[in-house]
Structure 1
Amino acid sequence: MPHPDLTRAAEEAKAMAASWSECDGPGGAVVIFDAAGPQSSAAGGHAVPEHRIPFSPDTPSRWASISKQFCAAAVLLAGFDLDAPLGELVPGLPETVGAVPLGRALDMTGGIPDVMETLWLLGQRFTAGLDEEELLRFVQRLPGTAGPPGREMTYSNTGWRLAGAAFAARGERYGDALRRLLLEPLGFGGIAFPADEGVLIPGLATPCWHDGTAWRRGRYGLHFSPSGGLAGSGMDLARWGSALLAGRGAASGLLEALSGPRRFADGSPSSYGLGLACVTLGGTALVGHGGSLPGIKTHILIAPALGCGVALVANREDLDPLAAAMRVMAAITGEALPEPASLPSGLYAEEVGEAWAELDGTTLCFMGATEPLFGAGDGVRTRPAYLQAALRLGAGGAVEGRIGGAQRRLLPVRADTALDPRLVGTWRERGFGAELEVTANGVVRLPGSAPADTSPLRPLPGGRALADRHHGPWRQRPLLALDQDGTLRLMSHRSRVLRFHRT
C-alpha cells in the first residue's frame, strides 16, 4: 500500500485552482483531509462572477447528489428496515413502486423512474418550480417501474425522495431528522438543507454554465429532495469525510455501512452502495460520490486504507469532478491514472429491446447516460458510480458485456436504416395527457415542445428511433419504441415507464 503524499496532492490542488483563476470565470475549491480533519486547501475563480467575488474553501455551494450519503446515514440512524417495501413506509404509492424494498430504492436497483427525467419526457422543464407535495403526488401517479427489483442499476433520485417522505410519514420532516440525528451531533452547523432554489443562503456560489459564447446562470426549479438538497462549503464537506474516516460520534461505522457491498438479484456485486460508490485507482480502493446540478459540480473521494481523501465543490458546468478528484488522489497515492480506451465508434442497439448505445472515441453514451471509457484487459470499462459497465467487442462487430449489472449485446446500426412507417402519427400518454407527433419525413415533436420545435429522428431497426433535444446545459436523447401491443414507449436510461397510444 503506497504511503500518502499529502504535500504532492496539495500542489496538484493548487495547480487546478490556478487554472480556474486564469479563466477569469467561475471556479471552485479543493480540500484535502485525513481522519484528523482538513489538512490543506486551494481555491480559484469566482463564486459570484458577476460581482467578481472570489471562490474560497469556505464558500457555500449546492452539493447536489453528495447529499445522498447523508440521507442514507439518517435512514440507518433512524432505524429504518432496508428490506421494508416502500408501500409500508409511504402511503398512496402505485403497487409496483410500493413493492420495491427501501434498500433497493437507495442503491438504484429498484427500477423506479427518476422524477425529473420522467417530467422532462412529459414536456416539463426542470427549471419549473414544483414543490414537495406536487412532486410526491406525481410519484403516486407513476405507471410502474422499469422491471423487477434487483435486475439492473438505473440511476434515479426518486427513491431518495421517497425516503424523505418516509420520515414525514413517521411525523418528522426529513430536514429536522437530519439535523437531529447527524448534523447537530457532529457539530456541522454550516451544512444547510434549503427546501428549494428560492431559499436564500448567504454567500452561496452562483451556478454557471457556458453556452459557447458566455457564462450563464444555472437553474433548477424542482424541490430539492434528500437526493440532492444539501448546501455547504468545501471545508464542510472535508470535515464530513474526516468524520467518516475517524468514525467520530454519530459517524461511527457509517463509512463501512454506506460503501458496503450491495448485490443484484442474481448475486453479482454492484459498485454502488448507499450513497457511496466504489472505484479503484491502481491498487488503491476508493469510495466516493459526485453531484451535478445545472452549473454545479461536486465530488468527495476517500481512500479508507490510506486514511485520507479529497473534497471538491465548483460552480462551473464544464468540470468533470470525478476526474479532478482522481487527479488529486493520483498525487496522494503515486498511482497512475487509468488510460482512456475505446471500441469502434458508431451507433449500436439490441436486436430486440430498449437498450442502445453510441460509442464516440473514448466515450460511451448508453440510453442517454454518458461516461468516459478506460482500458480493462481485452475490453473497456467505465468508472462505476452512475453507470457501471464492462464491455468488449464480440462476434459480428457486436458490443457486449454487463451494463448496470444487466447482460447486453448491442449490434451495429446501419447508417441507411429507414424510419419504420408504423411510428408515424400522433400519440397520447393517457395518464398525464402528454402528446407527441412523428411525421413521415422523420422528425418528432416531443411532449411540451412548441409546434415549430421538432427533433430529427435517428432510425433504429425494429420500430425504434432516437430523438435529441437540449435544455440549458443538459441533453436528452429519448428512445421511441413500438411495443408488441401497439403502444409507443418513450424512454431514457432513467425513465422507462411511459406508454403512448395512437390517437
Structure 2
Amino acid sequence: MPAMLNWSAAAEATKSLTDQWKANEPGGAVIGFDAEGIRFAQCGGVENLNTLAPFSCHSVVRYASVTKHAFCAMVLAHPDLISLEDRLGDHLPELQEPLASVTVGRALDMSGGLPDVRECLSLLGLSVYTETQAKDLMSFVARQTRLNYPAGTEISYSNTGYRLVETVLERKGAFFRDFIRELAHSADASFDAPDVWNDAVAGLVPGYWHTGEKWQLSAAGLHISASGSLTGSAESLTNWLRALMRGEGRLAGVLEKLSANRPMADGRMNGYGLGIRQSRLGDRLFPGHGGSHPGYKSYFLLDPETQSGFVVVSNREDTNGYRIALLGMAALLDLPLPTPSTALQDGLYVSESGPDWLEVKGSVVTSLDADETVYEESNGWVSSQSASQPVRLKMDGDNIIGEVGHAPRRYLPVTPQTETMPNSQWVSPEGARFDIEDGHIVMGVGPVRHRMPLKPLGDGRYLFTLYDGPWTKRVCLHQLNENRLQLVLNRARMIEYFSR
C-alpha cells in the first residue's frame, strides 16, 4: 500500500529553511509535487538584486548538474548512434590511452576515472572566470595520458565524461539543445541549454555569491557542456520530473534505466546511475540529483512509489538544496533523518604514501578537498550515504580505515613536520608554471600573482589553499621525485609539473 503523504508536514519542514531567504537577498523556490500536481510552492528572496523582483516558481535559473539525467536520456534515445558499452576511443579517435578505453557507461556513471576539466584548469592556474571554448578543451583532453584511477575501481565525480559523450553525439548530428527543447515541450516545460555563460537565455536571473561582506554577481568562463548546461524554472523542472515518473510515450521506462545501479569492475554495485544518484532515508532509496554553478544551486528528489517529489532551485551560492529536499521527503513519508556522527576524531590525516589526505571536523569529512557529512552506522562505522562521493570509515586506534569512493583507504594522523621544499621553479607541459619560494607556492603573474603557504604533510606532500572568486580549493602538492611532482584535487589527480 502506498505511504500516506503528509504535505503539510513537508511544507513546514522546508519552510524552516526557505524562510532564511530574506526579501533583500538572492533567494529561490521549493516545490512539493505528486501525480496530481503541485502540492505546495515556497519562494523567498529576490531573483535580481538590481530590480528586487521577488523570486518565483517561474524564475529561470541554471540547473547545473541536474542537466546530467536529461542528457543521459538523450544517450539512451540514440542506440543507433552510441552504446553504453562503446569505448570512447571508438568515437573519438584523438583520445589517447587509457582515456580511449573508458566506456561510455563509465564516463557517465562517475566510475571512469576521467579527470574533471574544470579542476584541471584550476591546477594549471586558470581562474573560474577564464573563458574557454569547446574545441580547445577537447584538444586539451586529447593530450592527457593519465586517469585519476583505473576505470571501474572507484567513484569520483567528474564532468568530463559528459563533455566527451556530448562531443560524440554532436559529431553524429545530434544536439542536446534540440533534444531537450523538443522533449520538454511535450512535458509542458520550457528548457534551454546554452553553450557558454554569456549566451542569452530568455528570463535567466543572475546568480550571486557572498564575499563575507557583500553579494556579488557570479560568472564562469568554462564552456558548459551537457554536464550542466540546462536552464529553466522550478515549475518547468517539476513538470518534467512528473512526466518522467509517469513514463509515458518516449519516456516509458527511462527513469528506471537512469536510476538503476551500475556495476563496478569487481561486480559491486554503484549507487550512482546515469545522471541520477540514490539517497537513503530509513530503509528506502530515493533517486535524485543536485547541481552547482557559481551562484546557482538546484536539487530534486523523487519517490516513484508515490509519484511524489521535491524541486529546489536557487540563485545564491550558499543554498543546500539536498538538505531541503531530504527534510521535505522525510516529513512527507514520516521517515527518520540520518544522524550526523562525530565518531571520527577531529584532525588532519594522510595516507601512508601517495597524495590522499583527509580532514575531520565534527561530522564533516573532507577527502582531497571534497566535503561530505558522515552519519552513524553500527560498530563505530560512519558513512556519507552519498552515491556520488561514497565514504565509509571508522577509527582504528589513532588511524582511520575504510573506503572512500569504494576504494580501500588507511589514513594516519599528520604529525608536526619540519620538512620544506627548496626554492625552485616548476613548469607544466601545458605551459603553466609556479615557483617555490621560502615555504610558499607562488602562482600567477602581476596583480593575480598569488603567494600561498605550504603545509607539510610529510614524505614530499604539502597542502596549500587557492582562492578563486566563489571557490576555495585546498590542493595537495605531491613530489614524485626530485624533478617531477603532481598537483591533486579530488576530481583531478594527474596534473604534472617538472623542475626547470
TM-score by length of 1: 0.94
Aligned match of 2:474: 477
- Counterpart mapping for 1:98-497 below 5 A: 98-180=100-182, 182-188=183-189, 190-342=190-342, 343-377=344-378, 378-395=380-397, 397-414=398-415, 416-421=416-421, 424-430=423-429, 432-439=430-437, 441-446=438-443, 452-484=449-481, 486-497=483-494
Q: How far did residue 448 of structure 1 move?
A: 6.3
Q: 2:500 matched to 1:499?
A: no
Q: How far did residue 233 of structure 1 move?
A: 0.5
Distance in structure 2 (CA, Å) of the matches to 1:64 and 1:405: 25
Q: Quick one: which amino acid aligns to residue 499 of structure 1?
A: E
Distance in structure 2 (CA, Å) of the matches to 1:417 and 1:4: 56
Aligned to 1:49, what secondary structure does the other structure show? coil
Aligned to 1:33, what secondary structure does the other structure show? strand
Distance in structure 2 (CA, Å) of the matches to 1:118 and 1:292: 18
CA contact (8 A) 1:87 1:93 kept: yes
CA contact (8 A) 2:270 2:387 kept: no
Aligned match of 1:76: 76
Aligned to 1:301, what secondary structure does the other structure show? strand
Percent identical: 34
Distance in structure 1 (CA, Å) of the matches to 2:481 and 2:104: 32
Q: How far did residue 11 of structure 1 move?
A: 3.2
Give CA deviations for 1:336-368 in whole Å, capped at 9, x if unaligned: 321211211111010111211111111111001
CA distance 1:166–1:21, shift in 2 (3 Å):
same
| The 10-residue stretch of structure 1 (136-145 or 220-229) with the greater mean CA deviation from structure 2 | 136-145
CA contact (8 A) 2:187 2:239 kept: no
Aligned match of 1:48: 48
Distance in structure 1 (CA, Å) of the matches to 2:268 and 2:237: 32
Distance in structure 2 (CA, Å) of the matches to 1:237 and 1:477: 34
Aligned to 2:411, what secondary structure does the other structure show? strand
Distance in structure 1 (CA, Å) of the matches to 2:128 and 2:461: 26
CA contact (8 A) 1:36 1:242 kept: no
CA contact (8 A) 1:13 1:41 kept: no
CA contact (8 A) 1:61 1:231 kept: yes
Aligned match of 1:6: 7
Aligned to 1:467, what secondary structure does the other structure show? strand
Q: How far did residue 412 of structure 1 move?
A: 0.4
CA contact (8 A) 2:14 2:328 kept: yes
Distance in structure 2 (CA, Å) of the matches to 1:251 and 1:398: 49
Aligned match of 2:87: 85
Distance in structure 2 (CA, Å) of the matches to 1:478 and 1:19: 33
CA contact (8 A) 1:185 1:250 kept: no
| The 10-residue stretch of structure 1 (460-469 or 327-336) with the greater mean CA deviation from structure 2 | 327-336
Aligned match of 2:22: 21
Q: How far did residue 335 of structure 1 move?
A: 1.7
Q: How far did residue 245 of structure 1 move?
A: 1.6
Aligned match of 2:97: 95
Aligned to 1:468, what secondary structure does the other structure show? strand
Q: How far did residue 496 of structure 1 move?
A: 1.1
Q: Return 5+ residue gaps in structure 2 as ranges.
A: none
Question: How big is the alpha-carbon RMSD for the aligned residues of Structure 1 and Structure 2?
Answer: 1.8
Query: Moved runs in structure 1, 4+ residues, more than 4 A?
Result: 447-452
Q: Quick one: which amino acid aligns to residue 425 of structure 1?
A: S
CA contact (8 A) 2:166 2:226 kept: yes
Q: How far did residue 123 of structure 1 move?
A: 1.0
Distance in structure 2 (CA, Å) of the matches to 1:52 and 1:83: 50
CA contact (8 A) 1:186 1:250 kept: no
CA contact (8 A) 1:90 1:169 kept: no
Distance in structure 1 (CA, Å) of the matches to 2:126 and 2:285: 40
Q: How far did residue 215 of structure 1 move?
A: 0.7
CA contact (8 A) 2:207 2:296 kept: yes
CA contact (8 A) 1:271 1:278 kept: yes
Aligned to 2:102, what secondary structure does the other structure show? coil
Give CA deviations for 1:112-154 in whole Å, capped at 9, x if unaligned: 1101110111011121221222222222222321222101112
Q: Quick one: which amino acid aligns to residue 469 of structure 1?
A: L
TM-score by length of 2: 0.95
CA contact (8 A) 1:479 1:490 kept: yes
Q: Quick one: which amino acid aligns to residue 426 of structure 2?
A: W
Aligned match of 1:39: 39
Q: Return 5+ residue gaps in structure 1 as ranges.
A: none
CA contact (8 A) 1:420 1:462 kept: no
Q: Quick one: which amino acid aligns to residue 262 of structure 2?
A: R
